[in-house]
């Protein structure tokens, strides 16, 4: 963990400054989502378990993503997820 003291604020607690890649450590890393969406076995397993690929929340769609994670996709990830939702697959 990286903590840094803010300038000019002696009484302020240290602040966590490192970026967080995912909410739940059992999900895949965000940087690997595009790759994961090209792997039928990963997507089918996550759908069978009803757990989001990224955060492991329930109520996933055909691309094994929860509604919250679905809204945060990049253009490439969104295109790959759309293929799953249209029934085309990877």
| Helix, strand, coil share (%) of the chain residues, nearest 5 | 35, 5, 60
Q: What is the mean pLDDT of the chain?
A: 81
The Cα-based distances of 63 to 1, 3, 30, 76 in angstroms read: 32, 36, 15, 14
Q: Is the pLDDT of residue 45 over 50?
A: yes
| Better-scored residue on pLDDT, 18 or 33 | 33
The Cα-based distances of 85 to 6, 42, 54, 57 in angstroms read: 46, 15, 17, 18
Q: Is the pLDDT of residue 18 over 50?
A: no
Q: What is the DSSP letter of 30?
A: G
CB distance 4 to 13 below 8 Å: no
pLDDT tens per residue, range 48-82: 999 999 999 999 999 999 999 999 999 999 999 99
| Better-scored residue on pLDDT, 63 or 15 | 63
Q: What is the pLDDT of residue 20?
A: 42
């Amino acid at each position: 963990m990286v903590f840094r003291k803010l300038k000019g604020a002696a009484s302020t607690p240290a602040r966590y400054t490192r970026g967080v890649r995912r909410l739940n450590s059992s999900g895949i890393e965000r940087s690997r989502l595009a790759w994961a969406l090209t792997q039928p076995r990963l997507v089918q397993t996550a759908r069978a378990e009803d757990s989001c690929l990224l955060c492991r929340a329930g109520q996933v769609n055909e691309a094994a993503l929860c509604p919250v994670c679905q809204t945060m996709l990049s253009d490439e990830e969104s295109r790959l997820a759309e293929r799953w939702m249209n029934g085309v697959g990877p």
